[in-house]
Chains A and B, each alone.
Chain A
Amino acid sequence: EIVLTQSPGSLSLSPGERATLSCRASQRINTNYFAWYQQKPGQAPRLLIYGTSTRATGIPDRFSGSGSGTDFTLTISRLEPEDFALYYCQHYDTSASWTFGQGTKVEIK
């Protein structure tokens, strides 16, 4: 079973700053099966990025994803007030199972 480890656990930044979130897999994974989600308090998760680097419908271009092998990154180029939230990485395994990272909280400094 693949384990996803996100770092850091939390990130304190100011609006306008750049956020870089990492997700490391315990073994190499297919980039087509990797995604990022955003979750705000009291809300359901929202798909941000799929296939490692493709933005989901309606996601602003300040969000970008990259990576390969075992190391993946979500970058928010300039933080807007609405971007302060929890972020999860996710992997789909072809055995039809899903794994999530433990989350990174992006907080206002």
Chain B
Amino acid sequence: QVQLVESGGGVVQPGGSLRLSCAASGFTFSSKGMLWVRQAPGKGLEWVAVIWYDGSNQNYADSVKGRFTISRDNSKSMVYLQMNSLRAEDTAVYYCARENWVEATKGNLDYWGQGTLVTVSS
């Protein structure tokens, strides 16, 4: 069965860095785009970043552009989120999610990890 397991969250000071990891299993990892989506405490969902199935391209929300970097290692079925220059407003649960295209439909996030909490505080 498909599983996504995030790790790497924790408490970090403003201006600090953190690297999140997401271990994928149960599907052909190298054929799917992968995303990070975050949810601040008590708030809604916010897309953060996406990486193409082959790692050839990435895209970022304006709120994290220039500070966060998404990457993947298809040989290990892993996706990463390097977060630099962290701010208090980056405090959130970070989920990795699999993108699935079904026929003409796109952008469906059909599997999600359980999330990892990042707290940015001094």
Interface residues of A (CB under 8 A from B): 32-33, 35, 37, 39, 43-47, 50-51, 54, 56-57, 88, 90-103
Q: Which residues of chain B have C-beta atoms less than 8 A from A43's C-beta?
A: 114
Residue pair A90, B46 in contact (C-beta under 8 Å): no
Report how far A44 CA is from B61 CA in the complex, Å: 20
Residues of A within 8 A of B37 (CB): 45, 98
Using CB atoms, name the residue of chain A closest to B109. A47
Contact with B59, one of A57, A96, A103 (Cβ below 8 angstroms): A96
A98 & B35 in contact (Cβ 8 Å cutoff): yes
B101-122: which have CB < 8 Å to A? 102-110, 112-115
Q: Is B47 an interface residue (CB 8 A)?
A: yes
| CB-defined contacts of A37 to chain B, threshold 8 Å | 45, 109
Chain B residues positioned under 8 Å from A54 (CB to CB)? 102, 105
A-B contact pairs, 27 of them (CB 8 A): A33-B105, A33-B106, A33-B107, A35-B109, A37-B45, A39-B45, A44-B112, A44-B114, A45-B45, A47-B109, A50-B110, A51-B105, A54-B105, A56-B110, A57-B110, A91-B107, A92-B106, A97-B47, A97-B50, A98-B35, A98-B37, A98-B109, A100-B44, A100-B46, A100-B47, A101-B44, A102-B44
Range for the number of chain B residues in contact with chain A: 20 to 34
In angstroms, Cα B105 to Cα A97, docked, is: 15
